[in-house]
Structure 1
Amino acid sequence: MELAAIKAAVVDALEDVKAKDIVVLDVGHLTPLWDALIVASGDSNRQVKALANNVAVKMKEQGVPVLSVEGEQYGEWVLVDLGNVVVHVMQPAVRQYYSLEQLWGGQKPTPMPRQGE
């Protein structure tokens, strides 16, 4: 499966379980380890686990090998390693603290107010 198709499939899998603030960063020019980093947020331990699980299941269904899944025990930050794409699903406080987007050359996420607030 091509990189663009993998990234799109991961985003679809995250959207299926209502992930928030999905960011796709192309980092191949920064590291030889992987080509893309995808970061998303879930509101609770349960949702973070469900998001990561859905990504793993959907990728396996499409023939993309899931090399490892780390952090499922606690559900604050779960990493899904797809080889050339790494997916980080985090609770908002953890995501803000580690600021992976900014670390990897993207923009620091800015919270968007929900409608009606």
Structure 2
Amino acid sequence: MSNQPQPQTIKVEIPTPPPSVEQLLACVLEAAGELKAKDVVQIDVRGKSSVADYFVIASGTSSRHVKSIAEEVVRFAKKLDMMPLGMEGEGEAEWVLVDLGDVVVHVMLPRMRELYALERLWTVGDQPPADDQDDEEA
């Protein structure tokens, strides 16, 4: 036998049946609320992205708060028998991403959130142009 380490396989099991998108979204929002995440926004990206149905974006007041919120999201998801497909950024905890499949959660420090402006990126075209609003008021 070889002394080389064998590659490890990570098994991700999705419960049968998996929780609905609405259940998963409610779970994420409850977890964020439990740890008092700031400015929590949910963005429906169906039809805009094949990656997920919803993005949830929230802010934490410090790196420790950001990491704790992300960990709480994972803990709440486990109650639905959902394990995250991935989690990134917990080391520096300026921006932690939790991939729950249909719902992707971004927990960020306010300065990172302002810099990357994910809300504006994913809601472009959702509002009518400003000129149309002016015409309606006239």
TM-score band w.r.t. shorter chain: 0.7 to 0.9
Secondary structure of 1:104's partner?
A: helix
Instruction: Please tell me whether residue 3 in structure 1 is matched to residue 21 in structure 2.
Output: yes
1:29 Cα deviation (Å)? 1.1
| Map of 1:32 onto structure 2 | 50
Q: After TM superposition, which residue ranges in structure 1, 4 or more long, deviate above 6 angstroms?
A: none
TM-score where L is the length of structure 2: 0.75
Rounded Cα–Cα distance in structure 2 between residues aligned with 1:65 and 1:74: 22
Q: Given the alignment, which residue of 65, 72, 75 partners 1:57?
A: 75
Instruction: Tell me the alpha carbon deviations over residues 41-74 of structure 1, each in whole angstroms, 9 at most, x when there is no partner.
Output: 0000000000000001110121123111100000
| Map of 1:48 onto structure 2 | 66
Q: Given the alignment, which residue of 26, 32, 36 partners 1:14?
A: 32
Number of aligned residue pairs: give it.
107
Give unpaired runs (5+ residues) of structure 2. 1-18, 127-138
Instruction: Please tell me whether residue 69 in structure 1 is matched to residue 87 in structure 2.
Output: yes
What percent of counterpart residues are identical?
Answer: 43
Give unpaired runs (5+ residues) of structure 1. 108-117
Letter in 1 for 2:73: V
Letter in 1 for 2:38: K
Q: Given the alignment, which residue of 81, 106, 112 partners 2:99?
A: 81
Who wins on radius of gyration, i.e. which is larger?
Answer: 2
For the aligned residue pairs, the C-alpha RMSD in angstroms reads: 1.2
| Map of 2:7 onto structure 1 | none
TM-score where L is the length of structure 1: 0.88
Instruction: Tell me the alpha carbon deviations over residues 8-40 of structure 1, each in whole angstroms, 9 at most, x when there is no partner.
Output: 110000010010000000101101111000000
Rounded Cα–Cα distance in structure 1 between residues aligned with 2:80 and 2:102: 15
